[in-house]
């Protein structure tokens, strides 16, 4: 057989194994490029507007009355747009801000956010002092928090939800930077937002508002206030029992108010709401989408829509600024800062997509599990590079045909890990289940977990995997599997992980024992919680190969077999794969991926589909390229070897006759 044209390929792992979905090369005029250019131009504009000593203040009477506010906002925008904290312009701005004593709520909240983002050790005590000022500045009625006004509570001003949201954002940034805030403060904030929400689910500006009609900007502020206060209150709330189940799993006081707020926004979503500041509104949408994890607000791809709006012709001025004609959109420094915050924070790469599935809200018993795990991975795996998570709700999307299925697989493929869990049997519609399979076949990675170790989810998940991967059963991960040590050593068997191998890589990992409640509790420093976070980090490290995902808008390559190719493959290079008595197809998409790469990179006429033929098949002689693969021992029958040798002689004789014809013999 050594003299035949039979080719045995031992393809390297990059070709034979599923790999993280890669971003396609971008057209210079596409949205990703437009966003990058817009950010660069906006940053240059803010550089140009700096007044030489690290401030952007005193441009008009409004900025003068909020001394330090414009400077803090511009500095925050620059930091989020990628300007390094050690850059001279940031150093000058920090020195300027440190000289401003706390007196205005907006300014203090923004100062804290800037100091936390810059991460200078010398500002830690200053952050605590400003946090304490905000806590004392609350307007209280007995034990009830009424919110914040422009100044300290001692000034007896009426509170409003705009000042309140910046106080709350400052407190949140402060606590993340290590400031101490009593639980009672967060309790008072959450109770305030629940109390002030309208029956329809929105919030208005203040009691002074003439109609008290909810608005987009105040509803995104209220939603974020509920989410942030709930995050702080829910750490350690669940008590995990010896049985593996957690007390209070899925029970949140703010569940219904958050659901109402999301429904309000879904039904009234607008980039340009009437009567609201456009750029201020965009920054609120970004925070609401990011903090809630919502990939879509209703049917709206909020980030894509906002990017298209900000980068459409004529929206950004030649000097790199944004501003408009509305009553609150006429200050270029402010509008440009809000635009940069939207564009730069919204494009954060999505590491984990949390899948919505039925029944009910069982998919979200632990509302902060993915958030806390991604925060851990950002710090411990990716050296502080910020990563995002998202809710991927395929129930909201109509999957009418295979083309739409591939498009959605590409959307899901922008995240490195698809994650779902629950108590009850997971329910996916047939096309939704196929989307999950397509995601895996395109290089995606699935992690699932039976929340609280529930048997109902366990049985349903196993059945789902049997349907999707009938030839690839779930098996316990062996002690030598790299998941036990991909990031930090976790004793094999600490959690009873199982996996599905597809090619030479594990592409589905399942834990029938609870991990999500440990992530929800966010106790990552010791005990079982520490082990759970380390294992989660290992799973992400294995799934990604320690390569961060692409930015949110990046396109992905989708490799799909075209059924029409059977009709026009004449003249195309088409591969046959030899079926043998053994594991003849451990990497079913290997040759398809190789052919797709040849087609794209070298513009070769190749067919993506591979024919599977036995050694006795008379059609073998029609193929110029034969591929054989496997990992275990294999057998080819004597009849098969004889037939194969006969076909090879026929091919050689055919080639010889063709050569003679070419020479005119």
Q: What is the pLDDT of residues 560-589, one digit of tens each?
A: 554 434 444 555 666 777 666 656 566 666
Average pLDDT score over the chain: 83
Determine the Cα–Cα distance for residues 480 and 507; give it in Å rounded to an integer: 17
pLDDT band with cut points at 50, 70 and 90 for residue 249: confident
Per-residue pLDDT for 257 more than 80?
A: yes
- 246-247 vs 239-240, strand pairing mode: antiparallel
Tokens encoding 287: 């925070």
Q: Which residues of 330-367 are buried (b: 16+ CB within 10 A; e: fewer)?
A: ebbbbbbbbbbbbbbbbbbbbbbbbbbbbeeebbbbbb
Determine the Cα–Cα distance for residues 75 and 83; give it in Å rounded to an integer: 9
Higher-scoring residue by pLDDT: 12, 623: 623
Share of the chain above pLDDT 90, in %: 55
Higher-scoring residue by pLDDT: 232, 268: 268
Share of the chain above pLDDT 70, in %: 75
Least confident of 137-141, 215-219, 281-285, 361-365: 361-365
Per-residue pLDDT for 5 more than 50?
A: no
pLDDT at position 397: 63
Cβ pair 450, 513 in contact under 8 A: yes
Cis, peptide link before residue 46, omega less than 30° from 0 = no
Q: End-to-end CA distance of the chain, in Å? A: 30
pLDDT at position 192: 96
Q: Which residues of 84-97 are buried (b: 16+ CB within 10 A; e: fewer)?
A: eeeeebbebbbebb
The winner for highest mean pLDDT among 57-61, 291-295, 480-484 is 480-484
Query: What predicted TM-score, i.e. pTM, was given to this entire model?
Result: 0.78
pLDDT at position 168: 96
Q: Give residue-wise pLDDT tens across range 525-566.
A: 888 889 999 999 999 999 999 998 887 777 666 655 544 344
Per-residue pLDDT for 254 more than 90?
A: no
Tokens 């039979």 belong to 6
The winner for highest mean pLDDT among 290-299, 446-455, 626-635 is 446-455
Q: Kindly provide the residue ranges of all beta strands, DSSP E only, lying in 148-273, ordered along the sequence.
A: 239-240, 246-247
| Rounded to 5°, angle at Cα 494 from 490 and 497 | 95
Which residues make Cβ contacts (< 8 Å) with residue 580, sequence separation at least 6?
614, 615, 628, 630, 634, 635, 636
pLDDT at position 430: 87
Average pLDDT, integer, range 347-375: 91
In angstroms, the Cα distances linking 220 to 146, 217, 411 are 18, 5, 25
Determine the Cα–Cα distance for residues 607 and 506; give it in Å rounded to an integer: 27
Q: Give residue-wise pLDDT tens across range 620-657.
A: 656 666 767 666 666 666 676 666 566 555 554 544 44
pLDDT at position 61: 60
Other residues' Cβ atoms within 10 Å of the Cβ of residue 153:
17
Q: DSSP labels for 280-332?
A: HHHHHHHHHHHHHTBS-BTTB-HHHHHHHHHHSTTTS-TTS----SSTT---H
Least confident of 25-29, 33-37, 350-354, 474-478: 25-29
What is the dihedral sign for C-alpha 553, 554, 559, 563?
positive
Least confident of 32-46, 162-176, 238-252, 253-267: 238-252
pLDDT at position 200: 95
Domains and CATH numbers, the chain: 13-17+559-662 (no CATH), 52-181 (no CATH), 350-544 (3.40.50.12140)
Backbone angles phi, psi at 283, to 5 degrees: -65, -35
Helix boundaries (H) for 312-401 = 332-346, 369-380
pLDDT at position 264: 97
H or E segment and range at residue 34: helix 31-49
Determine the Cα–Cα distance for residues 241 and 454; give it in Å rounded to an integer: 13
In angstroms, the Cα distances linking 496 to 196, 376, 453, 489, 509 are 46, 22, 11, 15, 10
Q: Is 663 helix (H, G, I), strand (E, B) or coil?
A: coil
Average pLDDT, integer, range 169-191: 96
Q: Which residues of 185-213 are buried (b: 16+ CB within 10 A; e: fewer)?
A: bbbbbbbbbbebbbeebbbbbbeeeeeee
Determine the Cα–Cα distance for residues 582 and 580; give it in Å rounded to an integer: 6
Q: Give residue-wise pLDDT tens across range 367-397.
A: 899 999 999 999 999 988 889 999 988 766 6
223 closest CA partner among 264, 187, 184, 176: 264
Least confident of 112-121, 417-426, 613-622, 650-659: 650-659
- 611-614 vs 498-502, strand pairing mode: unpaired
Determine the Cα–Cα distance for residues 583 and 577; give it in Å rounded to an integer: 12
pLDDT at position 481: 96
In angstroms, the Cα distances linking 75 to 85, 116, 135, 316, 368 are 10, 12, 24, 20, 29
Least confident of 64-78, 240-254, 324-338: 240-254
Per-residue pLDDT for 333 more than 60?
A: yes
Q: Is 198 helix (H, G, I), strand (E, B) or coil?
A: coil
């Amino acid at each position: 057989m050594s003299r035949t044209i039979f080719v045995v390929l031992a393809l390297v792992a990059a070709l034979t194994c599923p790999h993280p979905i890669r971003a396609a090369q971008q057209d210079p005029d596409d949205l990703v490029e437009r966003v990058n250019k817009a950010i660069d131009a906006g940053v240059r504009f803010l550089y140009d507007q700096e007044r030489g000593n690290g401030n952007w203040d005193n441009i008009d009477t409004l900025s003068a009355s909020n001394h330090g506010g414009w400077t803090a906002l511009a500095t925050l925008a620059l930091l989020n747009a990628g300007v390094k904290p050690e850059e001279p312009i940031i150093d000058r701005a920090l020195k300027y801000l440190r000289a401003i004593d706390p007196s205005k709520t907006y300014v203090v909240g923004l100062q804290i956010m800037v100091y936390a983002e810059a991460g200078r050790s010398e500002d830690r005590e200053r952050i605590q002092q400003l946090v304490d000022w905000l806590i004392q500045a609350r307007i209280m009625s007995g034990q009830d928090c009424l919110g914040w006004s422009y100044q300290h509570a001692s000034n007896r001003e009426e509170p409003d939800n705009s000042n309140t949201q910046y106080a709350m954002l400052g407190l949140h940034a402060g606590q993340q930077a290590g400031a101490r805030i009593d639980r009672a403060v967060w309790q008072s904030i959450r109770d305030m937002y629940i109390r002030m929400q309208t029956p329809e689910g929105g919030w208005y500006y203040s009691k002074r508002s003439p109609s008290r009609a909810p608005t987009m900007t105040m509803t995104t502020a209220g939603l974020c206030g509920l989410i942030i206060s709930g995050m702080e209150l829910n750490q350690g709330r669940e008590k995990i029992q010896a049985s593996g189940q957690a007390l209070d799993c899925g029970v949140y006081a703010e569940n219904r108010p958050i659901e109402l707020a999301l429904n309000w926004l879904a039904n009234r979503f607008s980039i340009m709401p009437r009567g609201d500041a456009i750029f201020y509104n965009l920054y609120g949408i970004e925070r609401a989408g990011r903090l809630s994890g919502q990939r879509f607000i209703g049917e709206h791809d909020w980030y894509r829509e906002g990017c298209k709006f900000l980068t459409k012709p004529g929206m950004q001025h030649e000097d790199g600024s944004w501003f408009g004609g509305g009553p609150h959109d006429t200050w270029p420094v402010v509008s440009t800062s809000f635009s940069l915050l939207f564009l730069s924070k919204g494009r954060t790469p999505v590491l984990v997509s949390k899948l919505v599935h039925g029944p009910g809200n069982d998919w979200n018993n632990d509302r902060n599990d993915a958030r806390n795990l991604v925060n851990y991975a950002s710090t411990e795996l990716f050296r502080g590079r910020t990563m995002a998570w998202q809710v991927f709700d395929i129930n909201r999307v109509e999957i009418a045909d295979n083309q739409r299925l591939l498009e959605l697989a590409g959307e899901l493929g922008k995240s490195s890990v698809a994650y779902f869990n629950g108590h009850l049997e997971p329910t996916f519609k047939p096309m939704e289940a196929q989307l999950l399979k397509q995601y895996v076949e395109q290089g995606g990675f699935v992690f699932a977990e039976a929340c609280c170790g529930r048997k109902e989810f366990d049985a349903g998940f196993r059945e789902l995997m049997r349907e999707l991967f009938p030839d690839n059963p779930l098996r316990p991960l062996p002690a030598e599997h790299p998941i036990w040590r991909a990031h930090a050593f976790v004793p094999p068997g600490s959690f009873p992980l199982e996996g599905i191998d597809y090619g030479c890589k594990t592409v589905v990992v399942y834990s029938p024992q609870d991990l999500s409640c440990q992530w929800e509790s966010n106790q990552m420093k010791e005990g079982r919680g520490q082990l759970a976070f380390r294992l989660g980090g290992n799973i992400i490290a294995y799934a990604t190969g320690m390569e961060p995902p692409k930015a949110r808008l990046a396109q992905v390559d989708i490799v799909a077999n075209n059924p029409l190719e059977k009709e026009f493959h004449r003249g195309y290079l088409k591969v046959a794969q030899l079926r043998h008595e053994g594991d003849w197809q451990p990497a079913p998409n290997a040759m398809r991926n190789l052919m797709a790469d040849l087609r794209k990179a070298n513009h070769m006429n190749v067919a993506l589909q591979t024919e599977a033929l036995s050694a006795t098949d008379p059609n073998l002689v029609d193929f110029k390229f034969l591929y054989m693969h496997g990992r275990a021992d294999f057998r080819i029958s004597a009849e098969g070897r004889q037939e194969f040798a006969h076909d090879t002689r026929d091919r050689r004789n055919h080639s010889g006759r063709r050569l003679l014809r070419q020479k005119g013999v």
